[in-house]
Structure 1
Amino acid sequence: MGQGRVKRLTLIPSMSHIRRHILAMLLLFTLSPATGSEWIYTVVDGDNLWDFSEKYLDSVLRFEKLRKLNNIKNPKRLQPGSWLRVPMKWIRSNAVPATLADHEGQVQLTRADGSLVSPIKAGTLIRLGDQLRTGPKSSAAILFADNSALTLHSHGEMKFDHLSAHGETGMVDSRLRLIEGRLQTKVRPSAGPGSRYEIYTPSAISAVRGTVYRAAVTGNGTGSNIEVLEGKVEVSGGEKQQLVGAGFGTHIEQGKAPTAPVKLLPPPTFNPIPGVVRQFDWRLQWDTIEGAVNYRIEVSRDRELAVLTWDQLTDQTHLPLPELPDGEYWVRVRGIDANGLEGNSRVASVLLDTQPQAPLSLNPPDGTIQRGSGIELQWTKSEDADRYLLEIATDQGFEQIVHRMGDLQETRYQAHIITEPGTYYWRVTSILDTEFGPPGVVRSWQLRPALEAVNSNIETTDDKVTASWRHATNGQLYQVQLALDSEFSSLELDQKTDQPEVSFDQLHGQVRYLRVRAIDADGYQGPWGSVQRIEPPLDQGIWAIPILFVLGLLFI
């Protein structure tokens, strides 16, 4: 072979490569800033340019301009999958209302002409210029034409400054003004360059698409907080912009730029929640969040918490739930930092079964010591019950029930059947028809033997009197009273002793009275025993007169 030669290969691109390059160039073209005012429509099977113009454009007379702009040869048959470039100014724009999806509590809707909508109910349409207010413990859920959603919380006020849609393109323009209060919104992703969603506050503008965030008017209406939960929000204030990402928040004062984004507090960790809550006033508890100065608790019957049944602020890490009808609820808790920015939330479901409510136990007071049987148990009348179940047990868990009455109509019960000394626990449950409510608060009493009357025996000598009695149990004291009258108004002796006898000097010429009673270790005093009359000893000088008289007779 001769001297080798280097051959040059020239690659000729195939038609498929050419198409891909053209498609890439078109894609770059359509995404370039110059096309930001154009809507790109993807042709589907059956489309033709006339029907398209009639459906989407502000005038069918733009048909020819649209054909030339897109270099269409056959307007009656468009190629499926191809793109149409449509200037935004050619697309039909029409007013489109929002909808009140749901509400709780006091909600007022004022039309642009000042008239009030009454009654207000789910499905009520909200139009351009309308104003919405919520009262205390109230909330309203609003649904927009593109399925973006917003909840206005209690003490809130907002105005609907702009509500429109670009025909049937799916592009919706919603601009709202939050005057006071708080809101949370979930915004659908943009359907095109005509999609717009903005919330104005007294100090800021937040513009978003495809995100979840909260907005609040703070202070005296001169500040705003923006807290981003998903996506990103562009916040403008004081002619400055700040892009706030998920998990961060910013504060904006009127006329000033947004503060640098601050990381939101983490969600709290709940203490274990029972599968069914049967206790009235049950407390939800969670761990402390470092940096939290307050916590917000929200309760809703809606899994999405679109409207709230109840909300509350607390500086504690626990809070009893309010009185609510039985059913499943969703509870949302988050911490609030020193700047007022609310953090990430924790949500849990709680199943309540607290109805009919148990009555309140009245008597005896908890821990009462009862001497002898026959204690009377008493409770309040429950408006939710037609009868009651009373249970008495020897353990606080009611595993050892000693007495049960299941059809009590009255609100008191004489427990004569309980006679053995010991500690007893009792509770009352409301019954309505065949439904048993949760057991009431457990109370206890101690049954102790009644102290018997102490009857004393009296022994006398010439100079001493000794009273004695039967010694009962260790730890008892005895109170001994000695008086000059049977009413014991003039006491000569009043003493306590742990011995079963007492001695004292004789008192000549004076009848005295004695009584004794037992005192238990807890201070309980038993009944007085029988009163003993103590006669004074005879005076020896009395016998001298009759003896002298007899002797005198003998000597007469």
Structure 2
Amino acid sequence: MAATLAALASMLLLPAPLRAQDEETVSYAVKKGDTLYGLARLYLTSDGAALRVQRLNRIAEPRRLPVGKQLRIPRELLRYTPVELRVAGFSGQVDIAGRVPAVGAVLNERQIVTTGRGGFVSFRAANGGEVALPSNTRAQLLRARRYLLGDLLDVDFAVLGGRGEAKAPKLRSGERFRLRTPTTVTAVRGTEFRVAYDEAGERSLAEVIEGTVAVAAGEKEIPTPAGFGVTSTAEGAGQLETLLPPPVMIDPGAVQTGQMLGFAIEPDSKAKGFRIQLARDAGFLEVVGEQVTGNRSVTFPPLDNGRYFVRARTIAASDLEGFSEAYSFRRKRLGVTAEVEQSPLADGYLFKWLAETAEGDEGETFYAFQLWREGQDGSPLVDETGLRETGLVLTALEPGVYVWRVAAIQAVEEGLLKVWGPDQRLAVSE
């Protein structure tokens, strides 16, 4: 209960442009020996800022501040050092301030980030905060600061279109970590959450994965706990909606050996669609593929050999996205092409094949070969394994129809990986 209360957040309607919340203040308890001029030299941006603080707090004697008095100081008047939000990973079409990003590059205040179809970018701060922007999103970093007064963190992201996902660090009183849209602002403490903004419908969505947020639009406020989402417009917030559970993926941990990568999801009558992501890391900061689809099966372009992660979320009719579960899988490109032709030997046939592997794969490949009469696949006439050669000659095959196949075999961490090529038919005449 205490953790939930500590994570309590606010999601407030913005009646005007994104400047509406900029005048919020922080509190400072006056200590013995403090003067307004001394505080200004240490923490404020200018002498004019000190005068504004004096008027706001109705200070009659700037050199004699009562110990314990709570001063309200607008954030915009505070001196600060920039907080470095660095690119943790990106893929596909991503543009930051008109340029292609680089891992480790710092995102500066006011810069706009755009992801195209299949694009993805994530940012990480030194304090552990994370922001991820999936495909077809436009966002702007409004503020990334650490105020000298109290060493307070203040991060503010605007999602102007598309989606944003955040994992907020554990914050102290007065610190903020926010994602906002043109109609809402979401501030949390130690919470994982997502926001989205539909520009065409002028509609915002919030999805709470951990913690609790309060969604307020107009005069109505809705506390939104983990596992729920809510949509809102300029007219107000809607009703709480339970986020859908993770979709059931079919054998997501299978080794992906084909040229293209393929994943399938069991039918779900509640699903409008699915968001499926591939990443190099379990935290999905280095996403290498993403698709939003109404189909239950999806394919991705080739990836290098290695260990990856996949997750899927169900999209409800309201467009709210549900929970996901990450699975680890191995990518190991391995296949085989084969053909048969008459051999120079009398009544002989030459079966030959070639392994299909990833470029630069130096693993040793072995082969297996099977041949049986059509309709008798449980009783192979030839069953060879551990072959190093890329061909085999068979002679004295009796007339009839035969079925044969070849497998490529390589050693992986889990053991031997065997990938069979397609069954092929051979008709032997009199």
- Please, what TM-score do these two structures have when normalized by structure 2? 0.71
Residue of structure 2 aligned with 1:358, choices 335, 339, 344: 335
- 1:103 partnered with 2:90: yes
Determine the structure 1 residue equivalent to 2:231: 251
Residue of structure 1 aligned with 2:296, choices 317, 322, 335: 317
Determine the structure 1 residue equivalent to 2:207: 227
Of 377-386 and 163-172, the range deviating more from structure 2: 377-386
Determine the structure 2 residue equivalent to 1:527: none
The change in CA–CA distance for 1:117 and 1:283 in structure 2 (over 3 A counts) is closer
Q: CA deviation at 1:415?
A: 3.6
Residue of structure 2 aligned with 1:339, choices 318, 337, 342: 318
C-alpha contact 1:266 1:289 (8 A) present in aligned 2? no
Q: Matches of 1:197 and 1:221 in 2, distance apart?
A: 26
C-alpha contact 1:147 1:188 (8 A) present in aligned 2? yes
Determine the structure 2 residue equivalent to 1:482: none
Determine the structure 2 residue equivalent to 1:288: 267
The change in CA–CA distance for 1:378 and 1:402 in structure 2 (over 3 A counts) is closer
Q: Matches of 2:285 and 2:277 in 1, distance apart?
A: 11
Q: CA deviation at 1:102?
A: 2.4
The change in CA–CA distance for 1:123 and 1:392 in structure 2 (over 3 A counts) is closer
C-alpha contact 2:257 2:335 (8 A) present in aligned 1? no
Residue of structure 2 aligned with 1:132, choices 108, 113, 128: 113
The one-letter amino acid paired with 1:249 is G
Q: Matches of 2:368 and 2:337 in 1, distance apart?
A: 14
Of 225-234 and 139-148, the range deviating more from structure 2: 139-148
Q: Deviations over 1:234-266 (max 9, x none)?
A: 33445644332211111223x221211111111
The one-letter amino acid paired with 2:370 is A
C-alpha contact 1:265 1:289 (8 A) present in aligned 2? no
- 1:401 partnered with 2:383: yes
Q: Matches of 2:260 and 2:254 in 1, distance apart?
A: 16
Q: Deviations over 1:136-169 (max 9, x none)?
A: 2221111246432100111211112223222273
Q: Deviations over 1:360-395 (max 9, x none)?
A: 44669xxxxxxx954454667858489975532147
Residue of structure 2 aligned with 1:38, choices 4, 16, 27: 27
Residue of structure 1 aligned with 2:134, choices 124, 138, 153: 153
The one-letter amino acid paired with 2:137 is G
Q: Matches of 2:131 and 2:339 in 1, distance apart?
A: 48
Query: Structure 1: which 5+ residue stretches go unaligned?
Result: 1-35, 72-84, 111-115, 365-371, 452-556
Q: Matches of 1:167 and 1:373 in 2, distance apart?
A: 89
- 1:211 partnered with 2:191: yes
Q: Matches of 2:396 and 2:387 in 1, distance apart?
A: 13
The change in CA–CA distance for 1:99 and 1:388 in structure 2 (over 3 A counts) is closer
Determine the structure 1 residue equivalent to 2:167: 186
Please state which structure has a larger fraction of its residues in strand.
2
Determine the structure 1 residue equivalent to 2:55: none
C-alpha contact 2:215 2:224 (8 A) present in aligned 1? yes
- 1:141 partnered with 2:141: no
The change in CA–CA distance for 1:146 and 1:406 in structure 2 (over 3 A counts) is closer
Q: Deviations over 1:195-221 (max 9, x none)?
A: 223333233332322211111222626
The one-letter amino acid paired with 2:189 is R
The change in CA–CA distance for 1:281 and 1:163 in structure 2 (over 3 A counts) is closer
The change in CA–CA distance for 1:277 and 1:176 in structure 2 (over 3 A counts) is closer
Determine the structure 2 residue equivalent to 1:392: 369
Residue of structure 2 aligned with 1:445, choices 419, 425, 428: 425
Query: Structure 2: which 5+ residue stretches go unaligned?
Result: 1-24, 51-60
The change in CA–CA distance for 1:89 and 1:302 in structure 2 (over 3 A counts) is same
Of 266-275 and 197-206, the range deviating more from structure 2: 266-275
C-alpha contact 1:133 1:158 (8 A) present in aligned 2? yes
Please state which structure has a larger fraction of its residues in helix.
1
Secondary structure of the 1:323 match is coil
Secondary structure of the 1:284 match is strand
Determine the structure 1 residue equivalent to 2:246: 267
- 1:93 partnered with 2:79: yes
Q: Deviations over 1:91-132 (max 9, x none)?
A: 95315143222222332221xxxxx456x3122122221111
Secondary structure of the 2:236 match is coil
The change in CA–CA distance for 1:90 and 1:176 in structure 2 (over 3 A counts) is closer
Over the matched positions of the two proteins, sequence identity in percent amounts to 19
C-alpha contact 1:205 1:237 (8 A) present in aligned 2? no
Residue of structure 1 aligned with 2:306, choices 304, 322, 327: 327
Q: Matches of 1:140 and 1:217 in 2, distance apart?
A: 17
Of 419-428 and 336-345, the range deviating more from structure 2: 419-428
C-alpha contact 1:134 1:154 (8 A) present in aligned 2? yes
Q: Rg larger in 1 or in 2? A: 1
C-alpha contact 2:164 2:179 (8 A) present in aligned 1? no
Q: Matches of 1:328 and 1:305 in 2, distance apart?
A: 13
Q: Matches of 1:398 and 1:176 in 2, distance apart?
A: 65
C-alpha contact 1:394 1:402 (8 A) present in aligned 2? no
Q: Matches of 2:187 and 2:408 in 1, distance apart?
A: 55
The change in CA–CA distance for 1:219 and 1:65 in structure 2 (over 3 A counts) is closer
The change in CA–CA distance for 1:446 and 1:67 in structure 2 (over 3 A counts) is farther
Q: Matches of 2:261 and 2:178 in 1, distance apart?
A: 41
C-alpha contact 1:389 1:406 (8 A) present in aligned 2? yes
The one-letter amino acid paired with 1:351 is R
Q: Matches of 2:103 and 2:222 in 1, distance apart?
A: 36
Q: Matches of 1:189 and 1:308 in 2, distance apart?
A: 24
Answer 1 or 2: higher relative contact order, Cα 8 Å, separation at least 6: 2
Q: Matches of 1:217 and 1:418 in 2, distance apart?
A: 71
The one-letter amino acid paired with 2:73 is K
Determine the structure 1 residue equivalent to 2:397: 419
Q: CA RMSD in A?
A: 4.3
Q: CA deviation at 1:171?
A: 2.0
Q: Matches of 2:170 and 2:326 in 1, distance apart?
A: 24
Please show how residues 521-532 of structure 1 align to structure 2 within 5 Å.
none
- Please, what TM-score do these two structures have when normalized by structure 1? 0.56
C-alpha contact 1:358 1:437 (8 A) present in aligned 2? no
